[in-house]
Structure 1
Amino acid sequence: MASEKISEYSRVRLISHNDADGITAAAVMCHALLREDIVFHASIVSRLDENVVETVNNSTDNGDLVLFCDMGSGQPELIEKVKNDTIIIDHHAPVGETTAYVMVNPHLADIDGAYYMCASTTAYVVATEMNPENKELAGLAIAGAIGDKQLFDRENGLILKEGIESGSVSIRKGLKIGDGELAEVLERTPEPYLDITGEKEKIANFLNILGISGPIEELDENQMKKLTSAVALKLTKKASPEAIDASIGEVCILNHEAIPNVYDMVTLLNCCGKLERGGLALTACLRDKKAAEEGWKLAEQYQKVLMGQIKKAEKKVQKRQHLRYIQGEDMEATGMIAGVVIRYIHPDLPFIALNKVDDVVKISGRGTRKLVDSGLDLAVALREAASGVGGNGGGHNIASGAAIPPGSEEEFLEALDTIIAKQMGNNADEN
């Protein structure tokens, strides 16, 4: 239904989220719209709020379709204010009744959008229904799923298989990191986060002991096995079990894209998104090599900033009974920081990052699959705790976000700790 409805329009106003999944979802739809000669105006935003709705209403004509990607399912009160026909392509758990003409969401088909379909793979399904030639966009869809730390079982797995069969994606086994000189990649790459990450001398000693050097993409099978075994040994000491799966295995090579290594592509998209250069990232996904080169330079610089932020955050972690958290002002990429902490440093409790930016405190919450299996639902927990202090929140059970007023942090954390305790079957008074 969504594909048919989109094809009825000559102009589309597209809004999508500024992370790797949101940007690739937008890119998949932009490619599909271009193929159908449909004019579009795309914007990449950090979140859906009143300002975005106002911008959309002021920049659309009566006959335009408004298409939201990677957002909208949890904000029916905002979607209702959009004056034009609206379609939502999203994977966050729907909340309430929507006024959107169509909502395409895996949850509506009993598919868990936190694990088995993201916004980009959902957009890929819509795009291939619009035109079978859009199957060549599988690489972009896979990049979004990897950016959202999803599993490649079920629906995502089928799309990966389709991408391999069509030649859009190739597979290389090894360490799941970007390409380049191994020592330099390990120094700047925050995932996997090891006891040597960001430490030039320690990395040199590590590689010297292994007897490995050179570009990672040129390592032979034995060298790669030696490297992955050594990394796995480091991870088993502290990281969550899923961190090993996320760090070692199959590396996707995107054969049609301007950035072939999927981890380099995800890095570019996330970094450009955080630097408010979502348009540049989207252009790179539209296979513009100059945009990709510019985006990669920004990403390399930003990774150094991010590494410093993670090192600082590691020292500032505080603990309550049922969660760990950090508080700060104008921190960079709190979602990435929270993800690194929960996977590689403190996987036993949910992790919350509170970041005061201007007149709002932005919240990033992360869990693990093990915690979710124990009852954790961060989407519900953050939404309830935030609404209790005059804020809002939502997302996935394993990864979610919120925004609250400055000064309400303590009340928010108290409420959140209690909610998480109930979710996971704990008594809040227990040690």
Structure 2
Amino acid sequence: MSKFLKIYENCKQVSEKILEAREKDLFFRVISHLDADGIAAAGITSHFLLRMGANFHLRIVQQLREENLREIQESKESIFVFTDLGSGQIGIIEKNLPPESVIIMDHHPPEKETTIHQANPHLWDINGATEISGAGITYLVAKSIDNSNMDLAPLAVVGALGDRQDKGEQHRLNGINAEIVKDGINKGVLEETTGIRLFGRETRPIATALEYTTDPFIPGLSGNHGACLKFLTDTVKIPLKTNNSWRTISDLSQEEKTKLVSELIQYMLGPGEMTSEEAQSIVGVIYILPKEEKQTPLRDAREYSALLNACGRMKKPGLGVAICLGDRKKTLEEVENVATDYREKLSGYMGWLIKPGTITQMEHLQSFHGGKVIDDRIIGTIASIAISSGIIPQDKPVLAFAESGEDMVKVSARATDYQVQRGIDLGAALRSAVKEISSEATAGGHNIAAGAHIPIGTETKLLQILNKIIKNQLGENGASNESKY
């Protein structure tokens, strides 16, 4: 049996557990993560529970902690469902909840073996960082419950894009994600095309779309509206308005799009700050939701995921779930306002990050500490943008810190695909390191992206321990110490 068939069978078994709980009229208590993938997974779960006529309560959390579980452990006649989290916290779940009443739909590496019903790609040697997201696993379970749930495929794609799983050629989704895309196309709820990967390609004036683009982050243009206007007017020389209305990327002719791409690539290569591959990534695969209205931010799956991520990071996850459930009009206006505030925050944080002296270098690590300046819900996004865009050196993983209250610090660790190929596994490294820090410290995540919570004052110790662990990881895999860059 192929690994794909095994994960489908795994999801089928979990779906049977959900159907059994519904037949018993149990109350579903759903807990999901606050990022785009977690909110999309929560949206999928809410959809299929509503379609089943089940009673449920949904909660979105930044991190699964024991206090979250203690709050619900006395719930009678309940089934506890965890999406986009749970596998890395099996120990505290087993400690606080009856395992037979728990269901996990997650794509993070499992902490240990368990009797809990869980759908997880890592059980079948499928990479949960690149081949399927938490929303994707939840979608497969939903599809196993009823094939009519295939119309939820766009939410699985939105979740995968939110988790930056578009690692294929021209930023295409691979693995089981690609199979989910096929489901969506066959169902008529998804389209796949190639185009300019600028944020807001259907909704924003061209200069604003360029300004808001952070993947890739374009030094000198991203976050700088005036510079974007000047670049488009003086260098690209395309009309930005038609009949006094601002044009969008989707309004451009093919000739204009070609010229814009050519000038952008030349600009990005000019200062020598970006590689040819990074510059050319401005063109790639785009996933369209044809059932959404044209010229709305929900029509482009990447922009959809950005909206959900903004809702979670700005403490408005309920708005994101409402959008997933089909709420539009006023709710969408609120979400767009939240996203605007979020982008302004990101721009300010990136301005802080690029100041001299912000990054601390070690032999096998680099780090920066946001203290109370950077919101702990956003620190991971800043780390991702910094290393993926080349704002900071890409030869070593980055560790980012931000105070998160209650005398704790949020840690976000990010690596590149090349670093992972050399043998670096940030999830394993952090899980090992926090054991030497404090009993209060927790960690989890993938090889390429991971996170932790540690007590304030233990940051230096964590860095020292991680530096040694990563050195060992590189040595154990026979990797060269030579940088790709």
Residue of structure 2 equivalent to 1:377: 425
Aligned letter for 1:291? T
The alignment status of 1:364 with 2:408, answered yes or no, reads no
SS at the partner of 2:88? Answer: coil
Residue of structure 2 equivalent to 1:280: 319
Q: Separation in 2 of the partners of 1:36 and 1:54?
A: 28
User: 1:276 deviation in Å?
Assistant: 1.5
Contact 1:257/1:285 (8 A) holds in 2: no
1:160-239 map, 5 Å: 160-176=181-197, 177-178=199-200, 179=202, 180-195=204-219, 196-208=221-233, 209-212=235-238, 213=240, 214-235=247-268, 237-239=272-274
Contact 1:356/1:406 (8 A) holds in 2: yes
Residue of structure 2 equivalent to 1:403: 453
Q: TM-score, normalised by structure 1?
A: 0.94
Q: Separation in 2 of the partners of 1:123 and 1:233?
A: 42
Residue of structure 1 equivalent to 2:351: 311
Runs of 4+ with deviation above 6 angstroms: none
Contact 1:328/1:356 (8 A) holds in 2: yes
Contact 1:139/1:256 (8 A) holds in 2: no
Aligned letter for 2:419? L
Greater Cα shift, 398-407 or 190-199: 190-199
Q: Separation in 2 of the partners of 1:47 and 1:189?
A: 28
Q: Separation in 2 of the partners of 1:108 and 1:47?
A: 22
Q: Separation in 2 of the partners of 1:310 and 1:171?
A: 31
Q: Separation in 2 of the partners of 1:393 and 1:282?
A: 26
Greater Cα shift, 265-274 or 228-237: 228-237
Contact 1:14/1:68 (8 A) holds in 2: yes
Structure 2 counterpart of 1:157, from 166, 174, 178:
178
Q: Separation in 2 of the partners of 1:244 and 1:146?
A: 19
The alignment status of 1:72 with 2:72, answered yes or no, reads no
User: 1:256 deviation in Å?
Assistant: 3.9
Q: CA RMSD in A?
A: 2.2
Q: Separation in 1 of the partners of 2:460 and 2:277?
A: 31
The 1:185–1:137 alpha-carbon spacing in structure 2 relative to 1, beyond 3 Å, is same
Contact 2:265/2:280 (8 A) holds in 1: no
The alignment status of 1:253 with 2:253, answered yes or no, reads no
Q: Separation in 1 of the partners of 2:106 and 2:267?
A: 36
SS at the partner of 2:154? Answer: helix
User: 1:125 deviation in Å?
Assistant: 0.5
Give the greater-gyration-radius structure (CA): 2
Q: Separation in 2 of the partners of 1:246 and 1:74?
A: 32
Q: Separation in 2 of the partners of 1:334 and 1:363?
A: 8
The 1:99–1:80 alpha-carbon spacing in structure 2 relative to 1, beyond 3 Å, is farther
Q: Separation in 2 of the partners of 1:324 and 1:228?
A: 33
The 1:106–1:68 alpha-carbon spacing in structure 2 relative to 1, beyond 3 Å, is same
Contact 1:343/1:368 (8 A) holds in 2: yes
Aligned letter for 1:336? T
Contact 1:74/1:92 (8 A) holds in 2: yes
Aligned letter for 1:44? I
The 1:241–1:388 alpha-carbon spacing in structure 2 relative to 1, beyond 3 Å, is farther
Structure 1 counterpart of 2:131, from 98, 107, 116:
116
Q: Separation in 2 of the partners of 1:205 and 1:129?
A: 52
Greater Cα shift, 325-334 or 169-178: 169-178
The 1:55–1:202 alpha-carbon spacing in structure 2 relative to 1, beyond 3 Å, is same
User: 1:355 deviation in Å?
Assistant: 0.8
Q: Separation in 2 of the partners of 1:247 and 1:416?
A: 34
Contact 1:73/1:90 (8 A) holds in 2: yes
Q: Separation in 1 of the partners of 2:305 and 2:482?
A: 41
Residue of structure 1 equivalent to 2:398: 351
> Identity of aligned pairs, percent?
36
Aligned letter for 1:231? L
SS at the partner of 2:95? Answer: coil
Aligned letter for 1:139? P
Contact 1:281/1:291 (8 A) holds in 2: no
Residue of structure 1 equivalent to 2:169: none
Contact 1:387/1:393 (8 A) holds in 2: no
Contact 1:239/1:347 (8 A) holds in 2: no
Aligned letter for 2:127? D
Residue of structure 2 equivalent to 1:328: 370
The alignment status of 1:20 with 2:36, answered yes or no, reads yes
Residue of structure 2 equivalent to 1:268: 307
SS at the partner of 1:364? Answer: strand
Q: Separation in 1 of the partners of 2:59 and 2:292?
A: 21
Contact 1:139/1:168 (8 A) holds in 2: yes
Q: Separation in 2 of the partners of 1:74 and 1:342?
A: 25
Contact 2:41/2:138 (8 A) holds in 1: yes
Aligned letter for 1:16? S
Greater Cα shift, 142-151 or 228-237: 228-237
User: 1:198 deviation in Å?
Assistant: 1.2
Q: TM-score, normalised by structure 2?
A: 0.84
Residue of structure 2 equivalent to 1:8: 20
Aligned letter for 2:453? A
Q: Deviations over 1:41-79 (max 9, x none)?
A: 111100111121122325x32x21110001111112111
User: 1:244 deviation in Å?
Assistant: 5.4
The alignment status of 1:134 with 2:155, answered yes or no, reads no
SS at the partner of 1:91? Answer: coil
The 1:16–1:154 alpha-carbon spacing in structure 2 relative to 1, beyond 3 Å, is same
Aligned residue pair count: 428
Contact 1:365/1:378 (8 A) holds in 2: yes
Q: Deviations over 1:407-431 (max 9, x none)?
A: 111111111111111112289x999
Q: Separation in 1 of the partners of 2:178 and 2:276?
A: 21
Aligned letter for 1:78? I
The 1:420–1:295 alpha-carbon spacing in structure 2 relative to 1, beyond 3 Å, is same
Aligned letter for 1:374? R
